[in-house]
Each structure stands twice: as C-alpha cells, then as structure tokens.
Amino acid sequence: MRRNLIVLPFILALFALTAVAQPVPPATPTEPAPAATAPVAAAPEAAAPVDAAPAAAAPEAPQATPLSKHGFRPGHGPMHANPRRTADKAEFCGDDASTCPCAAGKCDKKKGMGEGHGQQRPHGDQHREHGQVGRRGDIEATGLVQLQAALMTGKDNQMARGDAAQREGFGLRRARFGLEGDIGRGMEAGIEAELVDAESLLNEAWLSIRTWRGSKVVAGAQKMPFSRSAMMSAAHTALAQRPFAVEAMAPFRQLGVVMTGKYPDLFGIEWHLGAFNAFERVGTFHGGIAENAGLRGNTLAGDSPFSGLSYVGRLSVEPMGGVGKSVADIGCPDRGPRLAVGGGAVYSDGGTNTTMAMSADLLLKWNGAHVMVEYLRDNAKPVEEPTTPALIPAQLDRQSIVAEAGYAFWRANAAVRFELIDPNVDQDDATDEAIVSGALGYQLMRNKLRLQVQYDRRVELHGADLDNDTAYAQLQWLL
C-alpha cells in the first residue's frame, strides 16, 4: 500500500505532461532531411529568417483535433452520440406499451413509451381505466374522432339494418371529447360529450372511489360491464367497427353504480357487480338497445320506457398475463401467449319489457396474432302492464356468435371476422344472416392516428339475398 502511494504522484505527473504536450503535433520525420543534405550553395536560402519557418510548414497535414480529458475527440464515441437512431425501423409498443415487455433493442425507448422500456409513460399520454392510481389533480383530455368514407355501397343498404353507410360519401362516425383524471383522496372523475349525436350529447359522466385494495365503486353514466367487445373502446378494435351482433345485443351506456375488483397477481381475476336503470330493446334487431346515459335517468317514470332497474354481473380471468386494452397487439408483436376468458349476465326489469341476457367470450394473443370468440344470447318478453306500447309483442329469444382472427406486424394489422346472427331462435326467416368482414389498418404516433379499410359481406340465410355489401375507409384520431 505504501509503495502504491509513492508511485501515485509520478503517475499523475506523467498524465499532466501528456495532456499539455498532446495538442502540439510532432514534427514529421521527413522535414529535417532536406536541410541536412542540402548543398553549400543553398546555404543562403537556408539562412532565411526564423519567421519564415511557419510558411515552410504550411503544407503539413491538418492538425489533429485535441483529445478531450476522457480521451475522446468531440463528435466521436460517447462524447457526442449519433442523432440518428441505430434502427429506424425499430418496433415499438403501440397504445398498450405499459404492458409490453418487448425484447431489448426492438422497442423505441423514447420518453412516453411506457414501463418496461426504461422510461415511465407520463399520465397525460395514456388512457387510464376508471380508478387507476394517478396523481392528485392529474386531469387529462380525452377525445376520439372517426371520419368514414363509403367507397362502395349496395342498393339495399340501410343504416337501420346496421350498415355503415347507405350511399357513397363521407360521414362522421364519432366525435367525442372529454376530461378525466385523479381528483384526490382515492377518487377519479370523468365526463365526455358526443358531438355527433345531438339527442344524447352527454356520453359519460362518472365518479370512481377506491374502497380497498384492488376494488372501487364507479357511479354515473357509464358502460355496463357485460360484453367484452362492448366494454372495449371503439378506438381499440382490430377492425374499423365492432361486430354487428354486439352493436345490436349489448347494453352499452346506462346510468347506475358498479362495484368492481381486479387482481393481476391472482390469475388476473376481475369482477363487476352493478345496478342500473332498466333498458329497452328497439323493435328491430339492428336497432340495438336504447341507451339512457343522460342525466334524466328514470325521473320520467310514468311516461318513460326507462322505468325500473337492471342488474349486471361479470367475471373474467387472465391466467397468463394481461391481454391489454386492445384486440390486436399493434406495434408489439414479440409477446408470449396470453389468454382471457370471461362472461356476463344481465337482468332488466323494464317498464315495457323484461330481459335476461348472457355472454361468454375468449381472447387469445400470441406473437402478434389474436383470436377472439364471443357468444351472446338474450330473452325478452313484454310486461303485463307496460308503461309504453310494447315493441316486443311476445317472448323472443335471439342469439349470435362472433369469431375473429388477425395478425399485427409493426405498425400494420390485418383481421377477418365471421358473425352468425339469429334474431329469432324459434324460427328461420329472412332476418337470419351471416356476415364476413375483413380489414387492413395502419397506425402512426403510437395508434394516435390510424387509417383502416374494411369490407363487409352480408349473406341472408333465408329468403332473397340483398345487395347490401359495403366497402369503406376510416381515419381515426385518438387524443
């Protein structure tokens, strides 16, 4: 140890001398040679003034850039990183980066790309689920705009029968804007307006209160936890639109209270129990369920079909890890197998009809591929003394099955979907149909901007085949 202390000053002095002498380039070995062998007659020229020496040294090679104190020249190595990314086509983790453990070097590690990539996504760059932990006063703006262009329509197209468009041209499918965030003390709130639908301007208005670990209560105008495809945002589907069957049979937004719990460490169990205002079915199958998400609720019980209550329950498990909030893993194809299985049940004691409904679903993802299957069935019958004229004259059972498969690669994805719809289980009629839909999509800005092209082929199983196929494109902007 003492010997090392004695040698240390000499080493430091040697480094100091090296640093001082380094900027001065050494003389080239070929310069003194002409002076030593020059003839005597050339001596007068050799006796030139000393200040002329630099002129003779002008043709020398440019002086090397001095080294930094760490031994690197500016512009090279760690002193100045290359501004271009090492891989311009690196894969990134799309809209669900927070649960995307991509392999090192295959995901963009810029700020905001999510946990698991060395950076923490800012709260304002993701869409939280109700009750997710945030910072107090952390309010973010939300928005979804979907512009559609019908490229081809059949002469029998009718939007009342679920078609995306009746004639070629442009249409604004959705234009939603809102605010949501953490308001402190374990509470979150959100409000959203739908500018396209003037009849129901208020789309959502809810308050979430965390009760104990993993559970919360959400009250207000919100989606009923029944169908997986209905609970999922329209911005996160693999195709441009949700299945026809789900749009027709699933109760979407109503006014009520839900208690829910989620336990990722316990096989991903998630449960929902809630009570809402009762809902009513429209007379036609594709007319769907009458939504009552506004603030009126059932205050007009004597004259409104929304009198009464409905009760909902749902249970799902994800035993192989979270499947995320999107159907397809756009931008993150290098993930292992994940499975989600769930089901729900609803009983609605409405002023006009009583309805019993059930759903079952399965979603499998693996390395960019996905398969989703969903089954829906319900039974409705008129009450003895309806508050309004009954749209369902007698007991009616209906069912649908949806099967979808797709593949996502980098920023693009392709998906195909098959639906079998039976609006009346007890008889075969012209309303029974099979629908095949195919779509291609490409997204930018981590799914904030998305372009999709879709074709719907509808086949009537009984009766005349209608000319009601549709091809359309959709441009989506997600805030």
CA atoms of 103 and 112, how far apart (whole Å): 17
Helix (H, G, I), strand (E, B) or coil at 124: helix
Report if residue 161 sits inside a domain.
yes
pLDDT of residue 23 exceeding 60, the answer is no
Question: Can you tell me the distance from the alpha carbon of 59 to that of 358, in angstroms, rounded to the nearest whole number?
Answer: 89
Least confident of 50-64, 253-267, 347-361: 50-64
Chain centre to alpha carbon of residue 471? 24
User: Within a domain: residue 439?
Assistant: yes
Does residue 115 fall inside a structural domain? no
Taking the whole predicted model, whether its pTM rises above 0.75 is answered as no
Region 423-436: mean pLDDT is 93
Task: Tell me the sheet residues that pair with 356.
Answer: 347, 379
Residues 316 and 171 in one domain: yes
Cβ neighbours around 354 below 10 Å, total: 19
pLDDT greater at residue 333 or residue 302 = 333
Question: What is the Cα gyration radius of the chain?
Answer: 34
Average pLDDT over residues 450-475: 95
Beta bridge partners of 150: 169, 472
Q: What is the pLDDT of residue 382?
A: 84
What's the whole-number average pLDDT of the chain? 77
Q: Is residue 94 part of a domain?
A: no
pLDDT of residue 79: 36
Of 61-65, 118-122, 433-437, 450-454, the range with the lowest mean pLDDT is 118-122
In this structure, is residue 171 part of a structural domain?
A: yes
The torsion of the CA quartet 305, 306, 312, 316, rounded to 10 degrees, works out to 90
Write down the pLDDT at residue 336. 87
Residue 136 sits in the same domain as residue 79:
no
377 or 300: which carries more pLDDT confidence? Answer: 377
Co-location of 216 and 303 in the same domain: yes
Pick from 178, 179, 182: nearest CA to 137: 182
Given a contact cutoff of 8 angstroms between Cβ atoms, the answer to whether 391 and 352 are in contact is yes
pLDDT at res. 13: 54
**What residue numbers bound the domain in which 282 lies?**
127-478
The number of domains in the chain is 2
Instruction: Examine the domain organization and report whether 132 and 264 are in the same domain.
Output: yes
More confident residue, 116 or 3: 3
Between residues 125 and 63, the one the model is more confident about = 63
| Claim to verify: residue 69 and residue 155 sit in the same structural domain | no
174 and 73 both lie in a single domain: no
- Does residue 73 sit in the same domain as residue 132? no
Evaluate whether residue 454 is within a structural domain: yes
Pairwise CA distance, residues 455 & 453, whole Å: 7
The CATH number assigned to the domain holding 403 equals 2.40.160.10
**Where would I find the beta strands (DSSP E) of 69-168?**
139-153
- One domain for residues 71 and 177: no
Same domain, 178 and 73: no
The answer as to whether 426 is a domain residue is yes
Residue 57 lies in a domain: no
Looking at the structure, do residues 13 and 132 belong to the same domain, yes or no?
no
237, amino acid identity: T
> Of 411, 418, 273, 404, nearest to 346 (Cα)?
273
Burial of 170 (C-beta count, 10 Å sphere; 0-12/13-18/19+): exposed
